[in-house]
Amino acid sequence: MNGGERGRTIWKRGPVLAALALLLGLLMLLHARIPNRMGNLGSLVETFLPWFGLFIPALLAGAFWRRSASAAVALLLPVAVWLNLFGGLLGDRSHPGGDLTVAGHNVGADNPDPTGTARALAASGADVLALQELTPQARSAYEKELSKTYPHHTVQGTVGLWSRFPLSDTRPVDTEMDYGPLAATKPAAVKLAYNRALRTTVATDRGPLAVYVAHLGSARVNPRSGFWTVHRDRGAQALGRAVAAEQNERVVLLGDLNGTLDDRAFATLTSRLHSAQETAGNGFGFSWPAKFPMVRIDQILVRGVKPENARLLPPTGSDHLPVAAGITW
């Protein structure tokens, strides 16, 4: 076979691989156009969007195996799209220092060692500590252990905040049972029973800081309804409205949002707050599940302050990893 024939052959080989590479690139490029009408497919794709990059080396290996120049060239599209979306997360964007360290942790309702978890969190050096999924049985253990480090705290339903600084203007934020226009008719007992978010003002040395703690509804994948996120999405919208109405120019949101910030469901939050991890982290900061983290659903979002560093803390008895960030005025 002469050189010309060989050249034509390598361009004709692997048409399926080339088509798959182009489809992969278009999927990532146009993820926002994927509709949610059928089983929340768009949100499901966006939740695991970074992992679609794993298909690139697999397709590249196939291109080499088939000696397909067309497939190799077609892979330039998904490579460029993935790097545009996530390339900025690959390096270390953190800086030392910070006026204040905040941390958040879903401590897990099934945590077998709440006392050990509380001690580990107290030793983290955080000035403000937000906890989610507090159970009545474990609450006293956290209050006992954390009181040695944090003289001020509040617990509203299943979420709580511990602080080295005084707290004021503390109130629950209704997210789990948000009924929109019907919210005013909901009995107070029902509001308290389902409270999974709070808002408070922390009187720091640099001035007041509005802090929100939230644990949004769970997301589930099942054959019938697909990616089920009804309560989570409703909670995200309610939380977004609360942040939009916040008068304090400096805001920090700490919470298990049960979703990644690539998911369009959090547009009301990401349009008003930015991620400490994406601004000042090192890597993707995947926080769940703790044994093999695959997604970052535990978030630290800020407005009016600058994240200097963001990081994961060592694992505890929870199925989530704690997250922390240093912020400056």
pLDDT, position 13: 85
The pLDDT, as a whole number, for residue 8 is: 56
Sign of CA dihedral 232, 237, 240, 246: negative
Which stretch of 4-8, 76-80, 212-216 has the lowest confidence by average pLDDT?
4-8
* HSE value, Cβ hemisphere, 13 Å, CA-based, for 6: 4
Question: In this predicted model, what pLDDT tens digit does every residue of 48-80 receive, in sequence order?
Answer: 999 999 999 999 999 999 999 999 999 999 999
Query: How far, in Å, CA of 111 to CA of 158, rounded?
Result: 14
Peptide bond into 289 cis (omega under 30): yes
In this prediction, what percent of the chain has a pLDDT beyond 90?
A: 85
Segment 32-60 mean pLDDT = 96
Say how far apart CA 113 and CA 132 lie, in whole Å.
15
- Give strand pairing partners of 130: 104, 161
Residue 196: both structure tokens together: 């999974």
Q: What is the CA radius of gyration of the chain?
A: 23
Question: Which structure tokens are listed for 174?
Answer: 């209704």
Q: Lowest-confidence range among 15-24, 182-191, 285-294?
A: 182-191
Secondary structure (H, E, C), the chain: CCHHHHHHHHHHCCHHHHHHHHHHHHHHHCHHHCCCCCCCHHHHHHHCHHHHHHHHHHHHHHHHHHCCHHHHHHCHHHHHHHHHHHHHHCCECCCCCCCEEEEEEECCCCCCCHHHHHHHHHCCCCCEEEEECCCHHHHHHHHHHHCCCCCEEEEECCEEEEECCCEEEEEECCCCCCCHHHHHHCCHHHHHHCCCEEEEEEEECCEEEEEEEEECCCCEEECCCEEECHHHHHHHHHHHHHHHHCCCCCEEEEEECCCCCCCHHHHHHHCCCEEHHHHHCECCCCCECCCCCCECCEEEEEECCEEEEEEECCCCCCCCCCEEEEEEC
How high does pLDDT run on average in the chain?
92
Q: What is the pLDDT of residues 99-128, one digit of tens each?
A: 999 999 999 999 999 999 999 999 999 999
Q: State yes or no: pLDDT of 243 exceeds 80.
A: yes
Largest interatomic CA distance in the chain? 83
pLDDT at position 179: 41
**What does the pLDDT read at residue 43?**
96
Is a pLDDT exceeding 70 seen at residue 183?
A: no
pLDDT at 194: 64
* Averaged pLDDT for residues 216-224: 87
pLDDT above 50: residue 22: yes
- Say whether pLDDT at 178 is over 60: no
pLDDT at 116: 98
CB 107 within 8 A of CB 313: no
Q: Above pLDDT 70, what percent of the chain?
A: 92
Bridge partners (DSSP) of residue 199 are 171, 212
pLDDT of 181? 40
Q: Is pLDDT above 60 for 4?
A: no
pLDDT band at 190 (very low <50, low <70, confident <90, very high): very low
pLDDT score, position 182: 37
